[in-house]
A and B are shown apart, each in its own frame.
Chain A
């Protein structure tokens, strides 16, 4: 920085300093500040009130329009305001559709949102089991030149590619989403069942499981017979939360699984979520 401008800055600063030290009008300044502050607050409050008034008026008008049975007379009366009427009708319809979409979101249906200035969409799929919302999964799809999934967070053991081929992804996106939703929801359900088995029934030993939760092998301790029973559940239908095959085996007492009691449990395991069956079995004192 060259000398001339430096002194220019320095002299300016010292001038300002002199000004401030010389001020005697400070107390007057302070009350002016508090006056202005109060005015700002009053004006903002008024602005907020007016905004709220506009909103309620708008809503009232829209509601009355939606409830109203439009007759010819009414339309003629409001002839001049027909443009405004049309606009309000469209706003009403827009609000209705927005509410409908939000309701769809709340019940766990999929959301869709535009991306890349309309060249793509992003879908949100939710999973739930027994009334509890679990993980969500996203799919980003490019629309041109053909439908193509560009990005997603679906785990690799859900076979997206083969599902795409199976359900004619290009022509019927909704079918594809339904099938994918079934796979994801069933997976979430099976995973939840495994979690409950591990948490609620620590005495039952989980011998085998896998990432897809399509196989579960457990060891039951049967105190009355002083033996252990090996229970294998195969979930070969990946769109279901219930097993397609149940095998009960006992090494020490081979005839045990064929007894009527255990045949009962076999059918129970085929038709009821496994963690609930274990609760029943525990209550009956069959297993520890």
Chain B
């Protein structure tokens, strides 16, 4: 087994928790009884790595097997690194009929046309997501399996989620995606986050949203909590109104976990007490960044507790409404403008 394989395997084992590797091994490959036993023995990570390397040698595994293992582990645990969302625009007439085999063939063909050598692996997840693992090489070097790009796409939807893509390779991937999904343009959706599930749920609208309804269902009564009848809350009505507006702006129940929201301001400085700054003709450029472990949850509680005024300002409610967390705010537009951000690096 050559050095690059050893390094790849070592890096793989280092990144993934041992338990996950064990379960994935059992799922993906057939181990002999003695190999199975050696894997199950409780041992420190470095010893486990050695065990795995031995198994690789014994079974004559190639890079293909190891990358398959890596991909399966990553698909089960995708919330690592930064995920960026892209949107496919202007579908052709047959975009809606693109099926899996067609997409796979076309994508491989187009990407291989643009860059060689390249290692592409495409797999369908149980939730209908198409996962693509790309190891990039160029004319001088073989595919780099240590830094693969992962792409997730649901056919018949306009969204593509990408992680670990350099700006150099971005146009190549975009071209291949546009051709294989039968669209004309792909653009930055201005949404990024550490959790694939959060970014996906926000764009695919797979979280519980709140709407004003005429006949509340019997289940809606869960909101009514039995409070002490001797205590009358003075502010109860306005509090429930704020809560309702906060839920309508951000959603009900569990919200997708975004971590940041960035506003790039290109507006004129406005402060009556500071004449020098206000008199400047050029816009005052600054960037406002909100950070949190669960941004939407914290914004919702800001609105319902009254810290943020209700009705919720479009600057904040645009995050779930438009499904983006990067905005450029200028003076001419009443709300956040749409502009693409700088290329990824």
Q: Does A266 contact B (CB under 8 A)?
A: no
Known: A208-B100, A210-B128. A157 touches B212 (CB 8 A): no
The answer, among B155, B213, B215, B321, for a CB contact under 8 Å with A210, is B155
Mark out the residues of chain B between 193 and 240 whose CB falls within 8 Å of any chain A CB in the assembled complex. Answer: 203-206, 209, 211-215
- Give the CA-CA distance A226 to B157 in the complex, in Å: 39
Of all chain A residues, the one with the shortest Cβ separation from B249 is: A151
Of all chain A residues, the one with the shortest Cβ separation from B155 is: A210
- Give the CA-CA distance A257 to B97 in the complex, in Å: 25
The answer, among B128, B156, B206, B214, for a CB contact under 8 Å with A111, is B214
Q: Does B99 contact A (CB under 8 A)?
A: yes
Q: Does B154 contact A (CB under 8 A)?
A: yes
A157 / chain B contacts, CB cutoff of 8 Å: 154, 156-157
Q: Which of A36-44, A76-84, A211-219 contacts B (4 or more CB under 8 A)?
A: A211-219
* Majority secondary structure of chain B interface residues (helix, strand, loop or mixed): loop
Q: Does B243 contact A (CB under 8 A)?
A: no
The answer, among A105, A151, A156, A238, for a CB contact under 8 Å with B159, is A156
- Give the CA-CA distance A21 to B163 in the complex, in Å: 75
- Give the CA-CA distance A115 to B248 in the complex, in Å: 12
- Give the CA-CA distance A197 to B212 in the complex, in Å: 35
- Min CB gap B287→A, angstroms: 28
- Pair B211/A156 contact, Cβ less than 8 Å: no
- Pair A155/B204 contact, Cβ less than 8 Å: yes
Q: Does B158 contact A (CB under 8 A)?
A: yes
The answer, among B157, B205, B212, for a CB contact under 8 Å with A211, is B157
Of all chain A residues, the one with the shortest Cβ separation from B321 is: A151
Of all chain B residues, the one with the shortest Cβ separation from A115 is: B212
- Pair A236/B97 contact, Cβ less than 8 Å: yes
Q: Which of B157, B159, B203, B321 has the most CB of A within 10 A?
A: B157
- Min CB gap B51→A, angstroms: 34
A153 / chain B contacts, CB cutoff of 8 Å: 205, 209, 211
Mark out the residues of chain B between 153 and 182 whose CB falls within 8 Å of any chain A CB in the assembled complex. Answer: 154-159
- Pair B99/A210 contact, Cβ less than 8 Å: yes
- Pair A140/B155 contact, Cβ less than 8 Å: no
Q: Which of B156, B157, B158, B205 has the most CB of A within 10 A?
A: B156
- Min CB gap B189→A, angstroms: 11
B100 / chain A contacts, CB cutoff of 8 Å: 208, 210
- Pair A122/B215 contact, Cβ less than 8 Å: no
- Min CB gap A205→B, angstroms: 13
- Min CB gap B262→A, angstroms: 23
Known: A151-B321, A209-B128. A111 touches B158 (CB 8 A): no
- Give the CA-CA distance A155 to B99 in the complex, in Å: 19
Q: Does A154 contact B (CB under 8 A)?
A: yes
Type the 1/0 row for B303-331, where 1 means its CB is closer than 8 Å to any CB of A. Answer: 00000000000000000010000000000
- Pair A140/B211 contact, Cβ less than 8 Å: yes
Of all chain B residues, the one with the shortest Cβ separation from A105 is: B215
B124 / chain A contacts, CB cutoff of 8 Å: 208
Of all chain A residues, the one with the shortest Cβ separation from B251 is: A153
B155 / chain A contacts, CB cutoff of 8 Å: 210-212
Known: A122-B212, A124-B211, A215-B99. A156 touches B205 (CB 8 A): yes
Known: A155-B205, A215-B99. A105 touches B214 (CB 8 A): yes
A179 / chain B contacts, CB cutoff of 8 Å: none
Type the 1/0 row for A110-145, where 1 means its CB is closer than 8 Å to any CB of B. Answer: 011101000000101000000000000010100000
A236 / chain B contacts, CB cutoff of 8 Å: 97
Of all chain A residues, the one with the shortest Cβ separation from B159 is: A156
- Give the CA-CA distance A105 to B215 in the complex, in Å: 8
Q: Does A102 contact B (CB under 8 A)?
A: yes
B157 / chain A contacts, CB cutoff of 8 Å: 155-157, 211
A140 / chain B contacts, CB cutoff of 8 Å: 211
A124 / chain B contacts, CB cutoff of 8 Å: 211, 213-214
- Min CB gap A260→B, angstroms: 30
B154 / chain A contacts, CB cutoff of 8 Å: 157, 210-211
- Pair A111/B212 contact, Cβ less than 8 Å: no
A214 / chain B contacts, CB cutoff of 8 Å: 96-97, 156
- Min CB gap A108→B, angstroms: 12
- Min CB gap B291→A, angstroms: 26
Type the 1/0 row for A147-174, where 1 means its CB is closer than 8 Å to any CB of B. Answer: 0001111111101000000000000000
- Give the CA-CA distance A153 to B209 in the complex, in Å: 7
The answer, among B97, B204, B206, B211, for a CB contact under 8 Å with A122, is B211
- Pair B158/A211 contact, Cβ less than 8 Å: no
Of all chain B residues, the one with the shortest Cβ separation from A116 is: B311
- Pair B215/A102 contact, Cβ less than 8 Å: yes
A112 / chain B contacts, CB cutoff of 8 Å: 214
Known: A209-B128, A211-B128, A214-B156. A138 touches B99 (CB 8 A): no
- Min CB gap A131→B, angstroms: 19
Mark out the residues of chain A between 242 and 259 whose CB falls within 8 Å of any chain B CB in the assembled complex. Answer: none
Q: Which of A150, A209, A212 has the most CB of B within 10 A?
A: A212
- Min CB gap A136→B, angstroms: 9
Of all chain A residues, the one with the shortest Cβ separation from B323 is: A156
Of all chain B residues, the one with the shortest Cβ separation from A212 is: B156
**A to B CB contacts below 8 Å, 8 in the list:** A105-B215, A111-B213, A113-B214, A138-B213, A151-B321, A208-B99, A211-B128, A211-B154
Other A-B contacts than A140-B211, A153-B211, A157-B156, 5 sampled, CB-CB below 8 A, are A105-B214, A105-B215, A124-B214, A151-B209, A157-B154
A residues with a Cβ closer than 8 A to B are 101-102, 105, 111-113, 115, 122, 124, 138, 140, 150-157, 159, 208-212, 214-215, 236, 238
